Structure 1
Amino acid sequence: MSSGLYSALSGATSRLQLMDTISDNLANLKTSGFKKGINRFESLLEEAKAGPTATGVNYARLQEGFSDFGQGTLVKTGVPLHLGIEGEGFFKVRDEGGNILYTRQGIMRRDAEGNLLTGSGLQVLDESGKPLNLPGETLTIDERGNATTEAGVVRIPLFAFESPGQMQRVGSGLFVAASGAQDRLVDEPRLYQGQLEESNVSMMDETTRMMEALRAFEACQKMIKTYDTLAAKADEIGSVG
């Protein structure tokens, strides 16, 4: 098979992967605290492997799983258990399987015992890794995450990592710590009661990226058809000879 055909195939495949990421971003346009996914193209040179005298052919490979952690817009909702994060930090949560996850989705609720849960039912954890309990009827939360109830004051902590690369996407606005990564408490969190952080996805930007990816995919398709035609002609010439 022609090396040029391999190049066209890799280009088409990488654009399909890019379309998957863009589709996921658009699907979460209205998801609170969602951080858009991004991809990075990597060019693989055949020349680098074959030696300096060989004819180099570029192959495209798409690296997935990266995130844009840019700030989303804070919008007022007036709901006491809507918590919007500004700046760095994530809520630390735990699922039913005991897995530790991180999210900026601030739609919260309390169970019958007063434990703070995310909208999807994940347990929000305190600084010691225990379920965060906020008993009582009234609840006032200041910008540092200090929650005041009839029972006293409890801090709602935010956690961060030294590098964004130490967090891996797992879907639904959730992240896990990369192997060996250790979280840390955010010293001066900014948490706003009655507000939510919107997704940082821009519909206009994602639509533009989608159109560019589609045009690139169509160009790769045309290349594949051209190479297929050339191969068929070569077979005809070979059979005649």
Structure 2
Amino acid sequence: MMRALWSAASGMIAQQTNVDTISNNIANVNTTGYKTEKTEFKSLLYQNLQARTTTANGANKPIPAQVGLGTRVASNTSMFTQGAMLASESDTAFAIDGEGFFAVRGADGNTYYTRNGNFTWSIGNDGVILTNSDGYPVLDSRGNMIRIPDGVAAEKVSVTSQGQFYYRNAQGNPVDMNQSIGLFQFNNPGGLEKLQDSLLRVTDASGNPMNEATTAGLDRSNVRQGYLEGSNVQVADEMVNLIIAQRAYELNSKAIQASDDMLSQANQLRR
């Protein structure tokens, strides 16, 4: 009965984490570039209730007698499926159609990655550069900041589907800026460490970033100017998952109550 108490308690703790994950998905249903997460579980240790032999000669039993000790959270896995393309009136709104990630340089000088392409032109000591909403510079395929040439208005800058920047001169002819927005892929994007503001950090599990412009064999992503990638959260699925998690939590709480009733009856046997 004590085993039942601890096993059911582990189930309640695991389902609470599951509810937390589902709640976070629903809260970010309108977050640009957000990727839904799924809680994975695994069983805990097993105890042997009987030896594996039943005779003095040591004959093996066909099935051992074991009992599990509950469950625990194994991981929260991000699902990097494509989100919906949402039209935007901003000329610096970019959506990735493919498996790539944008790269931005953080305040600490390190490079971070994101699917959130809600960028803007910012004026600073380095001129007019492309940044995210927090002011972090967006990097091109060579790891440099993306700058507008002097004397060129920001509204004249456009981007091709391959991420190449160009502007139109006074005659209306396109002029190549010799910069393209950096797009990077990972062998295991699920291994990226999630940070705030939709930023992701490289880990040993994710592998090193692969530059789409220089790495052979990669399926190149396309850049859609005037669009933002919405989250891939499916509200109907999340509501169903929330109901399932709530019912599992209730079942574990009933198991605790049943174990408590059994312990109470055992304590009353002397009376």
Instruction: Normalising by structure 2, report the TM-score.
Output: 0.81
CA distance in structure 1 between the aligned counterparts of 2:196 and 2:39, rounded to whole angstroms: 15
Match of residue 140 from structure 1: 158
Shift of 1:38: 1.4
Identify the residue that residue 238 of structure 2 maps to in structure 1. 206
Q: Is the 8 A contact 2:119 2:132 kept in 1?
A: yes
8 Å contact kept, 2:6–2:69: no
Tell me which residue corresponds to 2:57: none
Tell me how far apart the structure 2 counterparts of residues 104 and 82 of structure 1 sit (CA, whole Å).
12
AA at the equivalent of 1:230: M
The percent of aligned pairs where both chains have the same amino acid is 30
Secondary structure at the residue paired with 2:120?
strand
State the distance in 2 between where 1:134 and 1:63 align.
47
Tell me the residue number matched to 2:73. Answer: 62
Look up the equivalent residue of 1:148 and give its one-letter code: Y
Q: Equivalents in 2 of 1:98, 1:195: separation in Å?
A: 28
**Equivalence for 2:204:** 179
Alignment deviations for residues 67-103 of structure 1 (CA, whole Å, 9 cap, x no partner): 0000001122232100011111001112212232110
Closer/same/farther in 2, CA of residues 51 and 42 from structure 1, 3 Å limit = farther
CA RMSD of aligned residues (A): 2.3
Aligned length: 239
Structure 1 unaligned spans of 5+: none
Higher helix share: 1
Equivalent in 90, 105, 118 of residue 132 of structure 2: 118
Aligned partners of 2:24 and 2:75: how far apart in 1?
13
2:193 alignment partner, SS class: strand
What 5-or-longer segments of structure 2 have no aligned partner?
A: 53-63, 170-174, 214-219
Query: Deviation at 1:58?
Result: 4.7
- CA, structure 1 residues 51+129, in 2 after alignment: closer, same or farther (shift >3 Å)? farther
Higher radius of gyration, 1 or 2? 2
Distance 1:158 1:73 in 2: 19
Give the SS at the match of 2:236.
Answer: helix
- Alpha-carbon distance between aligned partners in 1 of 2:69 and 2:111, rounded to the nearest angstrom: 40
How far 1:140 sits from its partner (Å)? 0.6
SS at match of 1:115: strand
Select the residue among 186, 200, 213 that pairs with 1:161. Answer: 186
CA separation in 2, counterparts of 1:51 and 1:158? 58
Correspondence for 2:217: none
**Runs of 4+ residues over 6 Å off in structure 1:** none
Q: TM-score, normalised by structure 1?
A: 0.90
Alignment of structure 1 residues 1-150 onto 2, 5 Å = 2-47=2-47, 54-112=65-123, 113-135=127-149, 136-137=152-153, 138-149=156-167
